[in-house]
Chains A and B, each alone.
Chain A
Amino acid sequence: MTQLIDVPDPVGHATPDAPRRRVSLPGGIDRVFRGVLRGAGFTVLGLMATVGVFLLIRGLDAFSVAGFSFFTTQTWQPDSRNFGIAAVLVGTLLIASVALVVAFPLALGMALFISEYAPRWLKRFLTSAIDLMAAVPSVVYGLFGSTLLQWRGTDIPRWLSIQFGWIPFLSVPQADPDNPLSPETVYATSTFWAGLVVGFMIMPFICSVMRESFTQAPQGEREGAYALGSTRWGMIRSVVLPFGRSGMIGGTMLGLGRALGETIAVALIISPIFVIQPHILGAGANSVSALIAQQWGAASPFGLGALMAAGLALFMLTLVVNFAASAVIARSRSGQGSDA
């Protein structure tokens, strides 16, 4: 190889230090290549951007019939022109909040365990396990929740409703705790169970974002905390958590976006009702996506339009949450070079 370099330079004999033009201008095949790349970018952008447009076009009929009452009506009878997403939208938000309450502490605990406590081999194993948990299809979570958890775990909502029934949304009006023969179905098919299962579904997504941001906490500052006599928890509280704060917030919002859009697991667990159900432990719940999945097969053409409109509302909601989440996470990435 060195012999090749020893060959007299055909260019260098003129003015070697002057700024030279680049020898090969991007042209010919490279221009085509750039065109192809840009074309792919345009295609993806077009696909993603037209999602909302198409839903809007199809849902416009329904919007114009329902008007603003689309957001205030609770019932869903599109064929008699009396429909709205008030009940399902509130249901969606309630399920997502329960999911976050379940998922956030678990994800935080798991992420801290993986990044701070686990030995190296366990770290890799658990990271894979969490990724696998994210890849488990939602219908499997739905099976688990609908056929096992909500019938075997009646103790949890009963205990919660008896002990904390004085908090309005944790009471179950249909239930009679003094009657030992009271049916257990009042505790099943509820917002709580749907939220619990969705919480386990979104937990891996939150956890992996948190873990990423925790492991990026600078080693120097960790050792500094230890050198100042900190315990491990002291180090976590003063270095890892502040460093990973935006990762925590961003990951949680990403999980929220996913929880809002979750369809099949929710549709399997709940029994749909069309009133705002504030009692999260009581039977009956609903969400926008479950509404679409359940009404789709039997909907008239106008009903399809109404479902499209509901889908558009869900799309807008998740889009706002996701944009906010990516903005927060992007800010956390920019701070990763703070280890001097």
Chain B
Amino acid sequence: MSTTEHPTVHSQQPAQSQQVTLPLTVPGGRHHAEPDATQPVTTVHTGPTPAAAAPRPLKPEVRRDTRSIRRTDVVAMIGALVASVALTGVLFDQIAPFSGVVGFIAIAYPLFLALYALLVSLEEDALIVRDKLVSAVVHSAALLVFAALVWIIAYPVIKGWRVIWLSNFWTQDMADAGTLDPLELGGILHAAVGTLEQISIALIITVPLGLTTAVFLNETRGAFTRLVRTIVEAMTALPSIVAGLFIYASLILLLGFERSGFAAGCAISIMMLPIMIRAADVVLRLVPSSLKEASLALGSGQLRTAWHVVLPTARSGLTTSVLLATARGVGETSPVLIAAGFTPYLNLNPFVDPQVSLPLATFQMVSSSEETMRIRAFGAATVLLLLVFVLFGLARIIGGRGAGQLSAGQSRRRDRQSVRDRERYIAAKRAPANPLTDELLNPRPAFRSTPKPQQGVSS
């Protein structure tokens, strides 16, 4: 205990020894500013006096502070931060030949780590210094990542904020607007329509196929299932441009379709399939096998079990997998670029002529050298981000519960159903001459002819 210290529970012994060696740091430093009278109570195990093992005095025990952050830590952290900034300021102006924000951070951060280590080492041993250093590095990495995320998302929104409030941005395509026209002319209607149509086509293909395949992976066993699972897992990171090339080579060159929104939807569905299958596979695996076994034991077959037990139990997770795959599919640019081509016109028919989507429109517009076009690109990106946010938020809200956990409304409905079932059974028992009873007492026809309990599961 003298060399290492548990990070969450601070024993009393180091505090006492510190009280002896470093009396100046005690009053503000350690969290135990209590008088010594309470100490035998809390240091029964670690205290140096064996007399403490005697029957405890019946004083109210003082709650031990088990927080892992103490005031000294905070003070050392802030001190190191201020010192490093100040030192870097001096270095920057007077000594070092650096310039710019990056140079400042590049010097200040190592300085901060060094100063922090120095401050901690005044009180603690090397082991703890290393622990604190790693903790500081991990925290700063997390902070950096979070800041980058906020920045990346906020940047297009800030740049495109002005244009998304113009009504023409939502109601016009780019047919009349040239690169030099002001923002009050032209919009992204064509791209928004294209995105919605293409993602709908992709969903029509992927949802039945993807969910059925996920059920297939869970309901059957064998070498073939393993093969499909391996292939699907490897395809999760299929480059999106390769999916576009594949659709171009098969659908357009071989089968004679033209470059259109439909081809783009197919390419997007090639992208989305592995993502959806994998997510749904994980969710279906979480369905308790006791539920499946109960259903099978009641005499229902595999289809009934899958349709009435497995799928309803995993419904929220399956919805989440569909929504997350949709969020990924909506943002794909390169399959649309390959399979649908670019057009500035509104094209409502997804089966003929090129059709543009929001990410592709963004890609094309930002490549322009005109500032207004670039602002339109940011507006389109903002709309795209908004769409992704909505899908993602829905997925979080729906998928927040695990398999088989019910929302309040669902469990209320199920309770009512259960009460009704009970009353029905009791009524059947009371009237033995009733022909209904024979049906109820004979399990197989009863199960086939009364879908009520199954509705209870699925609603």
Tell me if chain B binds chain A: yes
Task: Check B392–A132 contact: CB distance below 8 A.
Answer: yes
CB of B410 to closest CB in A, whole Å:
22
* Chain B contact residues, majority secondary structure: helix
CB-contact partner of B246 in A4, A54, A129, under 8 A: A54
Cα distance A140–B146 in the bound complex, in angstroms: 16
Cα distance A323–B227 in the bound complex, in angstroms: 12
| A108 to chain B: closest residue by CB | B141
A118, A155, A254, A262 — most chain B CB neighbours (10 Å): A155
CB-contact partner of B363 in A159, A257, A264, A325, under 8 A: A264
Contact A41:B216 (CB < 8 A) given known A26-B302, A34-B302: yes
CB of A117 to closest CB in B, whole Å:
6
* Chain A contact residues, majority secondary structure: helix
Which residues of A in the span 36-50 have a Cβ within 8 Å of any Cβ on B? Answer: 36-38, 40-41, 43-45, 47-50
Residues of B within 8 A of A116 (CB): 138
Cα distance A297–B336 in the bound complex, in angstroms: 12
Task: Check A135–B388 contact: CB distance below 8 A.
Answer: yes
Task: Check B152–A113 contact: CB distance below 8 A.
Answer: no
Cα distance A58–B148 in the bound complex, in angstroms: 41
B117 proximal to A (CB < 8 A): no
Cα distance A90–B8 in the bound complex, in angstroms: 49
Contact code string A154-185 (vs B, CB < 8 Å = 1, else 0): 01100100000000000000000000000000
Stretch at the interface among B40-48, B78-86, B218-226, B345-353: B218-226
Task: Check B239–A155 contact: CB distance below 8 A.
Answer: no
A284 proximal to B (CB < 8 A): no
Task: Check A261–B131 contact: CB distance below 8 A.
Answer: no
Which residues of A in the span 1-59 have a Cβ within 8 Å of any Cβ on B? Answer: 1, 3-4, 7, 23-24, 26, 28-30, 32-34, 36-38, 40-41, 43-45, 47-51, 54-55, 57-58
For chain B, the bracket of interface size reads 35 or more
CB of B177 to closest CB in A, whole Å:
20
CB of A180 to closest CB in B, whole Å:
10
A136 proximal to B (CB < 8 A): yes
Stretch at the interface among B50-58, B161-169, B269-277: B269-277
A101 proximal to B (CB < 8 A): no
Task: Check A140–B237 contact: CB distance below 8 A.
Answer: no
Cα distance A257–B249 in the bound complex, in angstroms: 23
Residues of A within 8 A of B273 (CB): 44, 47
Task: Check B324–A41 contact: CB distance below 8 A.
Answer: no
A242 proximal to B (CB < 8 A): no
- Beyond the given pairs A292-B334, A318-B238, 19 more chain A to chain B contacts, judged by CB atoms under 8 angstroms and listed by A's residue number, are A33-B302, A45-B231, A47-B270, A54-B249, A55-B246, A135-B324, A135-B391, A136-B385, A137-B385, A137-B388, A143-B156, A231-B130, A234-B127, A261-B242, A267-B363, A297-B341, A304-B248, A308-B245, A311-B241
Give 14 pairs: A residue, B residue, CB < 8 Å, sorted on A: A4-B441, A37-B220, A51-B246, A55-B242, A106-B141, A109-B145, A110-B145, A117-B138, A139-B362, A229-B5, A231-B131, A254-B236, A292-B338, A321-B237
Q: Which 10 A-B pairs have the closest CB atoms?
A: A109-B141, A261-B239, A137-B331, A155-B100, A229-B4, A113-B142, A231-B131, A40-B212, A155-B102, A37-B216
